[in-house]
Amino acid sequence: MKRLRLSRQRGFSLLEVLVSVLVFSLGILALVSLQAASLRMSTDARYRADAAFLADQLFARMLISLPADAPQFAHRTGGTACNSNGAAATNPSAVEWLAEVSDTLPGAAADLQQIEVAAGGQVTVRLCWQQGGDAPRQFVVSNRIQWQ
């Protein structure tokens, strides 16, 4: 009787081990996927922080320039988001800033960026970039420059 009972249980431990390896493997795959998503989100957050810093730099550059130079900062004010057209900025400080944007953000060519300068010192900056095969990202910030 004992012999029959042992033969029916043969291989059961192996099956338990295989199932536990499968569950463990699925857990590891989930952790790897979670890590990849975390890295992607962290990179995206870094680029948004860089965009905010760059916009703040432009506002500071405008603040130390003469009020009469403000229209020279306007850059590609026509078109749609991340598909701008129009005249390029002529202010040397703005041109330098656009080069910094291209160097800092991935896929952020100068002709994709927009700087709108409205009456009363209202300035709107739209920064666009695209990393790899991801969808284009944009960061829009508006500020009022008050020269003293």
Domain-wise residue ranges, the chain: 44-144
pLDDT at 103: 96
Q: Name the 3-class secondary structure at 78.
A: strand
- Between CA 95 and CA 68 the distance in angstroms is 17
Q: Which helix (H) or strand (E) holds 84?
A: strand 83-85
Structure tokens at 93: 């400080």
Taking each continuous run of H as one helix and of E as one strand, the counts in the chain are 3, 5
pLDDT tens digits along 24-70 = 999 999 999 999 999 999 999 999 999 999 999 999 999 999 999 99
- Between CA 77 and CA 35 the distance in angstroms is 39
30 CB neighbour count, 10 Å cutoff: 10
Question: Distance of CA 63 to CAs 22, 83, 102, 125, 134, Å?
Answer: 62, 27, 22, 15, 35
| Predicted TM-score of the model (pTM) | 0.79
pLDDT at 11 over 90: no
pLDDT at 83: 86
pLDDT at 8: 66
Most confidently modeled of 8-17, 79-88, 117-126?
117-126
The mean-pLDDT minimum among 60-64, 90-94, 115-119, 131-135 falls in: 131-135
